[in-house]
Amino acid sequence: MSSASPGDVLADVSRETRERLEIYAALLEKWTPKINLVSAATLPDLWTRHIRDSAQLLSLAPEDARRWADLGTGGGFPGLVVAIIGHEARPGLEVICVESDQRKATFLRTVLRETGVSGKVIADRIEKVDPISADVVSARALASLGQLLAYADRHLSAGGVALFPKGAGFRKEVSEALERWSFQLDTYPSITDPDATVLRIGELRRV
């Protein structure tokens, strides 16, 4: 297990990318009262709590990644943030958002259309989606690490990595996951929450 600090992706985004993120933020605020995309209590802190928190994952992904699968995307975190920033920063990156809730999937497609960003939304359950063979798999506030690893095992390409933000109890989740899985683990302190950690997992296999 190694530890380092991710860069702050938002510090270097272009004016055009910032404008796309602002369009996204406005749509999120408009739609949230109708379909509960994020907790209303977090909207005043949207840029740090959700957007910047999601953006840090992009800086932890391999530079040569070409396909990114975000599982249980919900209101777009981190998948839409990765797609919007990657539109300029990593133009060769394909982002696929998997979200089983049809209303949320409609929201995700609306954001992609309104921002002019390419991306794919799959409105189905993670375990029913055909293997995506992604270089990066991400999920935020979706499930326990053991369950996330089962999802990642299905959708990662050979040599791919998984990025999972976790809270203060991540060590217990890692310990429990190691009973069924073998993996390389790197940990990165969150840039938005002193109690949170981003797990980067590679060389995943069942034991």
Residue 91 DSSP code:
T
DSSP-based three-state secondary structure for 187: strand
* The pLDDT of residue 12: 80
What is the SS3 assignment for 60? coil
Instruction: Say how many residues make up the chain.
Output: 207
Residue 48, pLDDT score: 83
What is the pLDDT averaged over residues 156-164?
A: 97
Per-residue pLDDT of 6-15, as tens digits, reads: 445 677 889 9
Residue indicated by tokens 């696929």 = 96
Sheet holding 156-166, edge to edge: 2-3, 181-189, 197-206, 156-166, 134-138, 67-71, 94-98, 120-122
Within 10 A of 89 (CB to CB), how many other CB atoms are there? Answer: 17
Mean pLDDT of 190-194: 90
**Residue 100 and residue 72: Cα distance in Å, rounded?**
7
Tell me, which fold does domain 2-206 have in CATH? Rossmann fold (3.40.50)
Quick: pLDDT tens for 31-53.
999 998 988 877 777 888 889 99
Q: To which residue do tokens 């406005």 refer?
A: 26
Report the distance separating Cα 72 and Cα 101, nearest Å. 9
Tell me the per-residue pLDDT of 97-133, one tens digit each, with 9 for 90 and over: 999 999 999 999 999 999 999 999 999 999 999 999 9
Please state, as a whole number, how many other Cβ atoms lie within 10 Å of the Cβ of residue 75: 23
pLDDT at 183: 98
pLDDT attached to residue 5: 40
- The proportion of the chain whose per-residue pLDDT surpasses 90, expressed as a percent, equals 81
pTM of the model: 0.92
Q: Tell whether the model's pLDDT for residue 88 goes beyond 60.
A: yes
Looking at residue 4, what is its pLDDT?
A: 38
Average confidence (pLDDT) over 178-194: 95
Would you state the structure tokens that stand for residue 42, as one six-digit string?
Answer: 């977090």
**pLDDT given for residue 124 in this prediction:** 97
How do the domains of the chain map onto residue ranges? Answer: 2-206
**Rounded distance between C-alpha atoms, residue 109 and residue 105, angstroms:** 6
